[in-house]
Structures are given as structure tokens and as C-alpha cells.
Amino acid sequence: MTIFNKAIAKIDAINSEDPVNETLGEHQYAKELLYSIRMSKRLEAFDPNAPEHLKIAARAQHIGRWKIPRSEYPMDRVGYLRWREELKKMHADITSKLLSDVGYDEGFIDRVTHLIRKKHLKSDLETQTLEDVICLVFLEHYFEDFAAKHEKEKIIDILKKTWTKMSEKGHKAALQISFSPESLQLIKEAVLE
């Protein structure tokens, strides 16, 4: 087994511990394991030549996410942003340790954690690629459920923020996703008009 495969197996083992399950077809998956698999698949489609460190950063994007519940922070914008920063730090720390355990060097580990922390979005091409993949996975797999639970104004706001974080390449990929007519209308209102 390669060092890369060992790292992926360790990430998947941690994400398999998520107590929340999701059904896909006839199978049950730990929620964050399914998310990480979707991240890897989307990265492969979006950037087939992605380097190893970017592949690991994508797979580990939500590693152990359930360990810091959103409910532990105030339910406002400041609380949300604090929660997100704590998550990024935790994801980077867990990933850094497991990459060290399987034998990656410090430079490689630093690059992965830089990406997971989403440093230099817009100016770092790999950070931007990771952000595009995150947004595409959200739009393809999670947007419709999100939209069903929120008011139209909030949905439009989230779509605008998501679109702003994406590159032109990301926008083109997003418009290839097969959305329901209702979701497509919301997207058009948010970003195409």
C-alpha cells in the first residue's frame, strides 16, 4: 500500500466514526465519509491532474467534523464564523498528525494544512480549486435539501456568497449540474440576473 493510500485509509477510518448516517441508493454511509468520497470524485472530474497534496486536502476537508457541533456556538454570524475557524484548525491538526504518522514530510504536510485552512483564496490556484470543489459538492449534493429548509431570501444570499467564492471554471462546472427546475430558478435569480 502506498503512503497516499495509507493516508486516504486513515482519513476514511476517522470519517467512518461519524454517528450521523446518510443513505445513498441502497447503502448507508457515515455522513462525513460520504462527503469525503464526493469531494474526491468531484476533484477528479474538475482537475484530473490534481497533485497528491490537493487530493488529500479534499478528502480531509471535513475530517472529524461532528466533533465540534455547531450548537456549541452562538447561532449568529459571528458564532458561525468562529465555529468554521475552529473546524478548519481541527481538520488541519487531525490531518497533519495522520500524515506525519504515515510518513509524509513537513513540507508536504504544511501544504495540505495550508489548503485545508483555505489560505490565500483567489490568489492560490490550489486553494481556489479546493474551494471550487467544495462549492460544487454543496450545489450538487446538498443544495436542494438546504433550500427546502430555508426562506428564499436566505437561499439567494447563500447562493450569491457561494458563487462569489468560485472561479470562472467553477461557475462553468456548476452550470453543468442537473438541478431541479425550482433550484435552477433560484440559481438564476441569485447569480445569472
Q: For the segment 140-192, what is each residue's pLDDT rounded down to a tens digit?
A: 999 999 888 989 898 999 999 999 999 999 999 999 999 999 888 888 888 87
Average pLDDT over residues 44-71: 97
Mean pLDDT of 63-78: 95
Contacts of 133 (CB under 8 A, 6+ apart): 39, 42, 43, 46, 47, 58
Q: Is the pLDDT of residue 110 over 80?
A: yes
Beta strands in the chain (DSSP E): 21-24, 27-30
Look at residue 184 in the predicted model and tell me its pLDDT: 85
Q: Where are the domains of the chain?
A: 1-117, 125-193
Residue 15: its pLDDT value, please? Answer: 98
Residue-level pLDDT at 51: 98
Q: How do the residues of the chain divide into helix, strand and coil, expressed in percent and rounded to 5? A: 70, 5, 25
Torsion, CA 40, CA 43, CA 48, CA 51, rounded to 10: -80
